[in-house]
Amino acid sequence: MSHVPNVLIIGTGGVGSIVAYGIDYLNKSNLAIVVRRDYEKVKSQGYDVESVDYGTVKGWKPSKIFPSVEAASKGGVVFDFVVIATKNLPDIVKVEELADSVITPGKTVVVLVQNGFDLGRPFFAKYPENVILSSVTYIGSHNSQGAIHQTQSDKSFIGFFENPHLPKRIQEKKAKDYISIYKNDKNNCTYVPDTKTHRYRKLVYNATMNTVCAITGVDTGRVEFAGGLETLCIPAMKEVIAVAKADGVDLPADVINDTIHGDDGDWFEPSMLVDVKKGNPIELEVILGNLLLVAKELHVETPVLTMLYNLLKVIQFRLKEQQGTVVLPKDRPIYDKIYS
Ligand SMILES: *[C@@H]1O[C@H](CO)[C@@H](O)[C@H](O)[C@H]1NC(C)=O
Ligand SMILES: *[C@@H]1O[C@H](CO)[C@@H](O)[C@H](O)[C@H]1NC(C)=O
Ligand SMILES: *[C@@H]1O[C@H](CO)[C@@H](O)[C@H](O)[C@H]1NC(C)=O
Ligand SMILES: *[C@@H]1O[C@H](CO)[C@@H](O)[C@H](O)[C@H]1NC(C)=O
């Protein structure tokens, strides 16, 4: 890169704030962040960081802090990288619309530090000439009103969602450029040449264990004791593997065994269960909805996953109503639809 790149980070929760800190720490870019909830506090006092990677830092402030994406777009800066680390809830807010005002077509590289699958698709429709990167980040970190507590080291796998309109060589170059402004001596950042395979591998867990726990309200150990691995999770995993295969991705033969043993010894509560318990909306569309869309396009039967999805859609409705994003009339409307 010939100039110092301008970087904007949207979404400064536990993950986004540590990504921001890691980029700032390396000093290779002009960093700006969007802080919505704790803007006043962060603007005046900065963040207090307690981190396994970076130690104790009091009052850390990147040079530019904006209260909204709109405000960030008004500074006249063309961003080379826009890093999005919000939750991905397209049924509530579409990420490509949220970030629209700071994305320069044909120029800005968008980095999605988010869960889910096939996340590039809506961006390629809206910005056919932009590179969209994937960062699968494993980290334990919380941001509580400007106090960041990172308990598990940042390990990120970075690659590109394959944009059919651009040569792969350019997309690979941009992924490596991003790594060069992010990877430092404290975090662990690996380039992944095949993002699709990597995300399918993650889905073997996230589309199955995560969803079954969210519906049943129990952790993965209890699903095992109740017999749910054999009746629900493994049949669902086989469907994920079948979709991957139809999509040209052969997952390793021991993927089911590995995925299930990954939780050995833990009464683990996956993220979707944690969200349901807290009353937060779940990342259903990006984890399961996007997969089912691909399954449909490739004509792969997915009866178990489809049932899990339909149950979770109703749960999502409940969560949205609790949060006030869905409001129903007091009297139930009567429709003359004929059911059969
Ligand atoms: C980044 O810059 C700051 C202030 O100039 C300096 O203290 C710090 O050591 C630099 N960090 C690295 C990794 O070079
Ligand atoms: C970083 O992660 C890669 C991929 O998992 C691993 O092979 C490597 O040993 C890790 N490096 C460090 C320094 O932890
Ligand atoms: C299944 O995974 C366990 C734990 O990782 C391992 O010990 C075992 O050898 C695996 N079995 C097969 C058949 O892959
Ligand atoms: C997806 O699974 C990984 C473990 O493979 C987990 O760290 C992550 O929180 C999960 N994400 C969601 C949204 O469930």
In a domain, 117, yes or no: yes
The number of folded domains in the chain is 2
Side chain identity, residue 168: K
Same domain, 174 and 283: no
User: Using a 6 Å cutoff on CB, does residue 143 contact ligand 4?
Assistant: no
- pTM score, two decimals? 0.92
User: Using a 6 Å cutoff on CB, does residue 190 contact ligand 2?
Assistant: yes
User: Using a 6 Å cutoff on CB, does residue 310 contact ligand 2?
Assistant: no
Mutate to test the pocket of ligand 1, among 27, 29, 57, 180 (most ligand atoms within 8 A of CB): 27
Spell out the alpha helix ranges (H) of 57-119: 69-73, 95-98
Q: Could you tell me the maximum CA-CA distance found in the chain, to the nearest angstrom?
A: 65
Nearest alpha carbon, ligand 4 atom 14? 271
Chunked into runs of 10 residues, the chain (340 residues) has average pLDDT values of 90 95 96 94 95 96 95 94 97 96 97 96 97 94 93 95 96 98 96 95 96 98 97 98 98 96 92 95 97 98 98 98 94 94
In a domain, 340, yes or no: no
- Which ligand approaches the C-alpha of residue 260 most closely? 3
- Which ligand approaches the C-alpha of residue 117 most closely? 4
Same domain, 278 and 232: yes
Same domain, 214 and 188: no
Same domain, 201 and 263: yes
Q: Using CA atoms, how far apart are residues 327 and 273, in angstroms rounded to an integer? A: 24
Residue with tokens 């997952």: 251
Q: What is the domain-level CATH number for residue 17?
A: 3.40.50.720
Nearest alpha carbon, ligand 1 atom 7? 25
Same domain, 187 and 241: no
Mind listing the pLDDT tens digit for each residue in 130-171? 999 999 999 999 999 999 999 999 999 999 999 999 999 999
Q: Using CA atoms, how far apart are residues 67 and 35, in angstroms rounded to an integer? A: 5
The HSE-up count of residue 92 (CA atoms within 13 Å, CB side) is 20
Position 338 scores a pLDDT of: 94
Answer for the pair 81, 5: CB distance below 8 angstroms, yes or no: yes
User: Using a 6 Å cutoff on CB, does residue 104 contact ligand 2?
Assistant: no
Spell out the alpha helix ranges (H) of the chain: 14-26, 39-45, 69-73, 95-98, 121-126, 168-182, 195-206, 209-216, 220-225, 228, 234-246, 255-261, 271-278, 284, 290-297, 303-323
In a domain, 299, yes or no: yes
Q: Which two tokens stand for residue 331?
A: 């009297």
Same domain, 147 and 274: no
Q: Using CA atoms, how far apart are residues 133 and 109, in angstroms rounded to an integer? A: 7
At a CB cut-off of 8 Å and minimum separation 6, what does 45 contact? 59, 146
In a domain, 336, yes or no: no
Residue with tokens 């980095």: 111
Tell me how far the alpha carbon of residue 36 lies from the centroid of ligand 1, in angstroms: 27
Tell me how far the alpha carbon of residue 13 lies from the centroid of ligand 1, in angstroms: 24
Same domain, 242 and 292: yes
Same domain, 304 and 181: no
Q: What is the domain-level CATH number for residue 310?
A: 1.10.1040.10
Position 75 scores a pLDDT of: 86
| Residue 136, helix vs strand vs coil | strand
Number of neighbours of residue 315 by Cβ within 10 angstroms: 17
Domain that holds residue 241: 197-323
Which ligand 2 atom lies nearest to the CA of residue 153?
14
Answer for the pair 109, 130: CB distance below 8 angstroms, yes or no: yes
Same domain, 187 and 201: no
Q: Is the dihedral of CA 209, 153, 201, 97 positive or negative?
A: positive
Residues in contact with ligand 3 (CB, 6 Å cut-off): 254, 257, 261
Same domain, 295 and 153: no
Mutate to test the pocket of ligand 4, among 88, 135, 136, 206 (most ligand atoms within 8 A of CB): 206
Q: Using CA atoms, how far apart are residues 67 and 195, in angstroms rounded to an integer? A: 32
Number of neighbours of residue 231 by Cβ within 10 angstroms: 13
- Which ligand approaches the C-alpha of residue 154 most closely? 2
- Which ligand approaches the C-alpha of residue 264 most closely? 3
Tell me how far the alpha carbon of residue 62 lies from the centroid of ligand 2, in angstroms: 28
In a domain, 151, yes or no: yes
